[in-house]
Protein backbone atom coordinates (compact mmCIF):
# COMPACT_ATOMS: atom_id res chain seq x y z
CA UNK A 1 0.00 0.00 0.00
CA UNK A 2 1.46 3.36 -0.97
CA UNK A 3 1.29 6.62 0.99
CA UNK A 4 -1.43 8.05 -1.27
CA UNK A 5 -3.72 5.17 -0.44
CA UNK A 6 -3.09 5.68 3.26
CA UNK A 7 -4.25 9.32 3.03
CA UNK A 8 -7.38 8.41 1.08
CA UNK A 9 -8.28 5.61 3.48
CA UNK A 10 -8.21 8.03 6.44
CA UNK A 11 -10.82 10.23 4.78
CA UNK A 12 -14.56 9.64 4.62
CA UNK A 13 -15.32 8.13 1.18
CA UNK A 14 -18.68 9.95 1.13
CA UNK A 15 -16.80 13.20 0.43
CA UNK A 16 -15.76 11.76 -2.92
CA UNK A 17 -19.07 10.30 -4.05
CA UNK A 18 -18.55 11.54 -7.61
CA UNK A 19 -15.07 10.11 -8.26
CA UNK A 20 -13.54 6.65 -8.33
CA UNK A 21 -11.39 6.50 -5.17
CA UNK A 22 -9.14 3.73 -6.49
CA UNK A 23 -8.06 5.97 -9.37
CA UNK A 24 -7.68 9.15 -7.33
CA UNK A 25 -4.14 10.52 -7.53
CA UNK A 26 -3.38 12.64 -4.48
CA UNK A 27 -1.03 14.99 -6.36
CA UNK A 28 -3.33 15.61 -9.32
CA UNK A 29 -6.44 15.80 -7.14
CA UNK A 30 -4.97 17.85 -4.28
CA UNK A 31 -7.41 20.72 -4.90
CA UNK A 32 -10.40 18.36 -4.79
CA UNK A 33 -9.16 16.58 -1.68
CA UNK A 34 -8.32 19.76 0.23
CA UNK A 35 -11.56 21.48 -0.76
CA UNK A 36 -13.78 18.55 0.22
CA UNK A 37 -12.02 17.90 3.52
CA UNK A 38 -12.08 21.56 4.59
CA UNK A 39 -15.77 21.97 3.72
CA UNK A 40 -17.07 18.55 4.83
CA UNK A 41 -14.45 17.02 7.12
CA UNK A 42 -13.64 17.10 10.80
CA UNK A 43 -10.54 18.47 12.52
CA UNK A 44 -8.74 15.11 12.50
CA UNK A 45 -9.13 14.81 8.73
CA UNK A 46 -8.04 18.42 8.24
CA UNK A 47 -4.90 17.75 10.27
CA UNK A 48 -4.20 14.65 8.15
CA UNK A 49 -4.44 16.73 4.98
CA UNK A 50 -2.24 19.51 6.39
CA UNK A 51 0.32 16.94 7.49
CA UNK A 52 0.30 15.22 4.09
CA UNK A 53 0.38 18.29 1.80
CA UNK A 54 2.04 20.72 4.17
CA UNK A 55 0.59 23.96 5.52
CA UNK A 56 1.97 26.11 2.68
CA UNK A 57 0.42 23.97 -0.10
CA UNK A 58 -2.87 23.65 1.79
CA UNK A 59 -3.17 27.42 2.24
CA UNK A 60 -2.22 28.03 -1.39
CA UNK A 61 -4.98 25.70 -2.60
CA UNK A 62 -7.57 27.15 -0.22
CA UNK A 63 -6.69 30.70 -1.28
CA UNK A 64 -7.41 29.81 -4.92
CA UNK A 65 -10.81 28.16 -4.48
CA UNK A 66 -13.61 30.19 -6.07
CA UNK A 67 -16.28 29.35 -3.51
CA UNK A 68 -16.14 28.28 0.13
CA UNK A 69 -19.31 28.31 2.21
CA UNK A 70 -19.33 31.09 4.86
CA UNK A 71 -19.05 28.78 7.88
CA UNK A 72 -16.04 26.88 6.47
CA UNK A 73 -14.47 30.11 5.24
CA UNK A 74 -14.64 31.71 8.67
CA UNK A 75 -13.08 28.61 10.23
CA UNK A 76 -10.28 28.53 7.63
CA UNK A 77 -9.26 32.18 8.09
CA UNK A 78 -9.19 31.69 11.87
CA UNK A 79 -7.29 28.39 11.65
CA UNK A 80 -4.55 29.76 9.42
CA UNK A 81 -4.69 33.34 10.77
CA UNK A 82 -4.96 34.77 7.25
CA UNK A 83 -6.85 37.91 6.18
CA UNK A 84 -10.02 37.18 4.21
CA UNK A 85 -8.86 39.39 1.36
CA UNK A 86 -6.14 36.87 0.43
CA UNK A 87 -8.78 34.31 -0.59
CA UNK A 88 -10.17 34.25 -4.11
CA UNK A 89 -13.64 33.35 -2.83
CA UNK A 90 -13.75 36.57 -0.80
CA UNK A 91 -12.56 38.69 -3.71
CA UNK A 92 -15.20 37.22 -6.03
CA UNK A 93 -17.94 37.62 -3.43
CA UNK A 94 -17.15 41.30 -3.00
CA UNK A 95 -17.20 41.94 -6.75
CA UNK A 96 -20.74 40.55 -7.20
CA UNK A 97 -23.66 42.78 -6.18
CA UNK A 98 -26.22 41.26 -3.82
CA UNK A 99 -29.53 42.04 -5.53
CA UNK A 100 -31.80 39.93 -3.37
CA UNK A 101 -30.29 40.33 0.08
CA UNK A 102 -32.05 42.52 2.60
Determine contact, residues 38/30, Cβ cutoff 8 Å: no
* pLDDT tens digits, 37-46: 999 999 999 9
Domain count, the chain: 1
48 is a domain residue: yes
* pLDDT tens digits, 1-38: 444 467 888 899 999 999 988 888 888 899 999 999 99
101 is a domain residue: no
Helix or strand or coil: residue 54? coil
102 is a domain residue: no
pLDDT of residue 56: 96
Residue-range definition of the domain harbouring residue 10: 3-95
What is the pTM assigned to this prediction?
0.82
63 is a domain residue: yes
100 is a domain residue: no
> Which residues, at least 6 apart from 36, have a Cβ–Cβ distance to it below 8 Å?
15, 16
pLDDT of residue 2: 45
Amino acid sequence: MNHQSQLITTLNPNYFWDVELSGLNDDKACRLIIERVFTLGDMHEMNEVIHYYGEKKTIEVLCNISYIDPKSFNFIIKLFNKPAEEFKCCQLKQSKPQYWSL
